[in-house]
Structures are given as structure tokens and as C-alpha cells.
Amino acid sequence: MFIDTLIERIKEKNNPTVVGLDPRVEYVPGFIRQAAYKEFGMNSKGAAHAILEFNKKIIDAVHDIVPAVKLQSAYYEMYGLEGIGTLMETIKYSKSRGMLVVMDAKRNDIGSTAEAYSSAYLGSAQIGEGNNEAAFDAHALTVNPYFGIDGIKPFIDDCRKYDKGIFILVKTSNKSSGQLQDLLTHNGKSIYEVVAGYVEEWGKPLVGKYGYSGVGAVVGATYPNQAKILRSILKHAYILVPGYGAQGGSARDAAHSFNKDGLGAIINASRSIMCAYQSETWKERFPEENFDEACRAEAIRMRDDILEAI
Amino acid sequence: MFIDTLIERIKEKNNPTVVGLDPRVEYVPGFIRQAAYKEFGMNSKGAAHAILEFNKKIIDAVHDIVPAVKLQSAYYEMYGLEGIGTLMETIKYSKSRGMLVVMDAKRNDIGSTAEAYSSAYLGSAQIGEGNNEAAFDAHALTVNPYFGIDGIKPFIDDCRKYDKGIFILVKTSNKSSGQLQDLLTHNGKSIYEVVAGYVEEWGKPLVGKYGYSGVGAVVGATYPNQAKILRSILKHAYILVPGYGAQGGSARDAAHSFNKDGLGAIINASRSIMCAYQSETWKERFPEENFDEACRAEAIRMRDDILEAI
């Protein structure tokens, strides 16, 4: 099962973190960007090639110490077909280097359409009699719960069929997440608590050998108090935690999403790793040409920061 | 402004409906499908070519009587890069035939990422100094409100900058939509009412000359009672109404989303139009080769059905 594999990789590497590859072309070091623009033009093709080169170097630099990458779909869709091509190549390359791939696309729709999204990201599309073709084929996908169970079930069915995972948005890391998620229902529970209850219920059939389900949750590191409450509701859900680093969440904040066994959460950082070579911490030590070493150094610093806090 | 243009097209054509192009390759008539498979293979390339041909014929058949198409992203993403290429070609072709294009992609994320999604679907991505490139460039996009205002604001900013529109999910057409959307908050309002209040508030700065905003709402035809309540809260929002036809909503149900002036809503039908040639109503009259005439006949029947009910 995906969730068992994820846990085993986390244990092997002693690293409950995931590197987020959410690349704007401006993040790519100048020498790679200029070379790509020279070869392919200062257009989406050039940008997409620059980003692919950037991603591969980051993956090369962290694949032996980090269990998974998280790819934020928006940053690839923004560069059109060429950008989405880079997304697909990045998925393939991550797998070839032994990393698990979480597609962070937050898909959501009514049942029949959720089925199509699930075919796109987790399963495969039927094309002709008995002939199926996978499009993105990630190991896991983030999804949005606004539609209730019929917008989620097709993904759960494919998790079982194709051995994949999903992470359902519960409490997001952004400032205004409370506008909807913190609303108190008439029985005194907040929306994020109600959604957490659904996640726990929907995930029951997918609990693996370590007691965690293929149906996980997203809870931002920027809300430590809510994370404490959610950790107790989400008894079987693995928690994917955005918001550490550039968004302001600390290791202590993120620590609330772990259980006492040191499992139960995986912390994402995107910009702080991708752009480590530009940071105060690393820019003196690593010139732009060695940006990948800065990524590795920051990934190690982050791992140790999290391990110390839990 | 997008919303003014939409209203003018609806008035010109006396038709408050939109044709949804949410094509599974199985919906494409056999003769088109087989020809595409023969030329490009029984794979995603063949499927994508078959769908593009299918879409173009439908657009040709309805472009003079229907103001807009709604393209459901999932059905294109499912066929990979070739499928997404077909989505882009369909957007271009729809525009070339004078139709407005609503991308139904239900995107959602934190502010910085919502900005990237907005660049992808409504605006353009910056690539190099002072150089921008549009990826999908639709006229409007559906979005999900789970993140609150900071996940919506980047889209609103681009609506103003690029003269576009958004439709925010309020009450969706699926069976389990109430699991989250109908929850009563402690002050007695349901979540869908609270979200409708946000839509109204967020849309104020984008109200056009007919009194409607570029920030619209999605309310399913399958919930007529909720639609009545929502029409009164959403004083300035245009309502995009899915759920008519194949999903079970009637014209009378859909009529609740209109105002007394006959404006305020646009009704979508997807499968009932795309697959009209297979329906009990039309299959005797139109052989498969004339599937496009069946689409037109069904689009006219639907228009008249809606006009009679409002």
C-alpha cells in the first residue's frame, strides 16, 4: 500500500519531510535560465526547459535523503502545455530516482468528474476496448472536500485499485483559511473538525499495516493549536503539513501533527529549499552554480530541525 | 467587462444556456473515433484527436444560438498532454466561432499558488523581463472557496486586469453536497449561505453596467429550494447552474436561479447535448453521422424549455 511504502521510506531515511517543487521560472538560477532561453527562446518552452533542468538537479541533490517530492500543479499549468510536459517529466524523473510523488493539485468535482480527475492523476483512462493509459500516474494526490463523499469516493476507489493515496484538505495554512474552515457549526464543532471526522470515516477501509490510512489530511503548520485538536481526531490519517519555512510555520508548530511514535505527519517545504541558494543562511557558502548543494544543505537542516522538535 | 459581454450575448441570442463540453472518448460517435484511432493509434493521441473533432463539430452546430461553452478540465487532463492540447485547441476554436469560454476547473489554493492558477487560466505568466505569455486564456473560471478570500483574491485581481470572470462554488449539484455545504453554523446560517455572503461581498468591486458582478456563483439545479434562498442573497452575482438534464434538474428547478428580469443565471447541460444523438428523443431522427444536428436540436429544445420556465 502507498501509505505503508511512505512510512517505510520515512523510517529508512529517518526523514519525515517532503520537498515541494513549486517552481516559478524566476526561482531558477540565472545560468540555467539563460541557457534555456538561448536554446528554446524566452517563452513557455524556454521556461519549461529551465524548470525541468532545475527540478532534476534538485531531485539529484536530495533523492537519497528525502522520501518524497510534492509537485504543485499550478506552477506547471501556468507555463501551458510545455509546463505540463515538464510536470510529467518531473514525475517520471522523481520515480526513476526512487522518490514518491505527491501531486498537489487539490482537485474536486461531482462524482463523474472526480472519476475523470482520478483517472488523470492516480489511475488511467480507458481508450478503446480493454486498453488503458495512465496520464500523470502520481503516487498520491491532494483533494478538496467541498463536494462531500461523492466527490471523494472515486479517488478512494482508485487508491485501492492502483495502490495510491490522497490527502484531503482539512485546515489550510493560509491566513484566511478560517473564513470557512473555522466556522462553528450549531453543535459546537468547527468545519475543520467536521471534515477531519469525515476523513477518519472515509479512510477506514484503507488502513494499512502500520495503522495509518491511504486517506490522509492536509493541516497547515501555521495553525499549531488546531493541529493539536486535529491530531486527536485523525487517529488513522497521515497528515501532510504545508506552511513550514517560507510561510512562517516553525518545527515546533509542525511537531503537533506527529503522534508519539514519531509517525503520522510529513512536513513540506518548497520555496525555502528551491531558493536556498538565495537565502541569508546559505548564499555565502554556495554560489549560484552550486544551488543544488544549497538545496541539500537546507533539506538536511530542515530534517534535523523537525527531528529535534518531535 | 466579461459579465456585461456575457449578458449581451445572452440577450442577443435570447438564450441563457451554456453547452458543456466534458467529453469522454466513448461519447464520440464511432465513425470519428475509429478514423482517429486509425490515423493516430488507439491511445491518448487518437482519443485527443477524436475529441477535438467532436468538439469542433458541436461548436459549429451551436455557435450561432448558444452564447458560451463550459469546458470541464478533468476530461481533458485524463488524456494527458494530448488531451490538454485538445482543451487548448477547443478554447481557441470556440473563440474563433465567437463563443465565450468558461473553464470549469474548480481551482483553489493559498494566495501565491492561486496567483499561479489565475495566471494559467485567466491571465498570463511572466517569462523574462516585461515578457508575458498566456496559457489557457479562458474568459472565466470556476473556483472553490475552501481557502477563503486569500485563495480568491488573485483571481479577482486578474478579472479586473484582464477583463475576465469567476464563478465560485456555493451549492453544488451532487447528492452529497450537503455533507459540508448544508451544515448549519452556530448563528443559524448554512455554509452555502455564508459562502454566498462572501461571494456577494467579494464581487462588489466588479459590478458592471447591468448590475451584475464578474464574481459569480455556482448553484446546482438539483437544489431548487436552496436556489431560491441563494438568489435572494446573491443580489449581484450571476449564477452558473449545473445539474440540468442528465443530472436530473428540470427547467422549473433551474428557473429559481433567475431574477424577475429574466437575467441572473446561465444553465449548463453537458451530456444531454453531447450525447443527444444517442438519446431516446433524437436517435430515430438523427443517425450517428448527423450527431451535430442532434446537438443543435437538443440545444434548441433546452433553450425553449428554460425560456418557457422563466
Banded model confidence at residue B247, pLDDT cuts 50, 70, 90: confident
pLDDT of A168 higher than 90: yes
Residue B97: how many CB atoms within 10 A of its CB?
A: 14
Amino acid, single-letter form, for residue B103: M
Residues of B within 8 A of A195 (CB-CB) are: 180
Cα(B194)–Cα(B186) distance, rounded to whole angstroms?
12
Judge contact between B58 and B273, C-beta under 8 A. Answer: yes
- At A251-288, the pLDDT tens digits run 999 999 999 999 999 999 999 999 999 999 999 999 99
Distance of CA A8 to the CA centre of its chain: 17
Q: What percent of chain A has pLDDT over 90?
A: 97
pLDDT of residue B57: 98
- At B251-291, the pLDDT tens digits run 999 999 999 999 999 999 999 999 999 999 999 999 999 99
Cα(B254)–Cα(B268) distance, rounded to whole angstroms?
10
* Residue A106 among the catalytic residues: yes
Residue B239 φ/ψ, nearest 5 degrees:
-110, 125
Complete domains list, chain A, with CATH: 2-309 (3.20.20.70)
B189 touches chain A (CB under 8 A): no
Cα(A3)–Cα(A53) distance, rounded to whole angstroms?
29
The model's pTM is 0.98
Residue of B nearest to A242 (CA): B110
Residues of A within 8 A of B111 (CB-CB) are: 174-175
- A115–chain B nearest CA distance, Å: 9
List Cβ neighbours of B260 (8 Å cut-off, separation of 6 or more).
none
Task: Report A:201-240 residues touching B (Cβ under 8 A).
Answer: none
Averaged over B90-107, what is the pLDDT? 98
Contact B127 A42 (CB under 8 A): yes
pLDDT of B87 higher than 90: yes
ipTM: 0.98
pLDDT of residue B211: 97
pLDDT of A43 higher than 90: yes
CB pairs under 8 A between A and B: 224
Cα(A71)–Cα(A243) distance, rounded to whole angstroms?
15
pLDDT of residue A247: 82
Cα(A137)–Cα(B291) distance, rounded to whole angstroms?
34
pLDDT of residue A245: 84
Residue B214 φ/ψ, nearest 5 degrees:
-70, -10
Contact A174 B150 (CB under 8 A): yes
pLDDT of A246 higher than 90: no
Among A126, A131, A135, the residue with its CB nearest the CB of B77 is A135
Averaged over B282-302, what is the pLDDT? 97
Among the options B106, B153, B235, B283, which is catalytic? B106
Banded model confidence at residue A53, pLDDT cuts 50, 70, 90: very high
pLDDT of residue A21: 98
A110 touches chain B (CB under 8 A): yes
Distance of CA B278 to the CA centre of its chain: 23
B80 touches chain A (CB under 8 A): yes
Contact B44 A116 (CB under 8 A): no
Identify the CA nearest to A103 among candidates A128, A81, A136: A136
Q: What percent of chain B has pLDDT over 90?
A: 97
Residue A166 φ/ψ, nearest 5 degrees:
-130, 155
- At B123-169, the pLDDT tens digits run 999 998 889 999 999 999 999 999 999 999 999 999 999 999 999 99
Among the options A11, A56, A106, A153, which is catalytic? A106
For residue B288 the three cell numbers come to 450517428
pLDDT of residue B191: 98
- At A107-118, the pLDDT tens digits run 999 999 999 999
Judge contact between A81 and B117, C-beta under 8 A. Answer: no
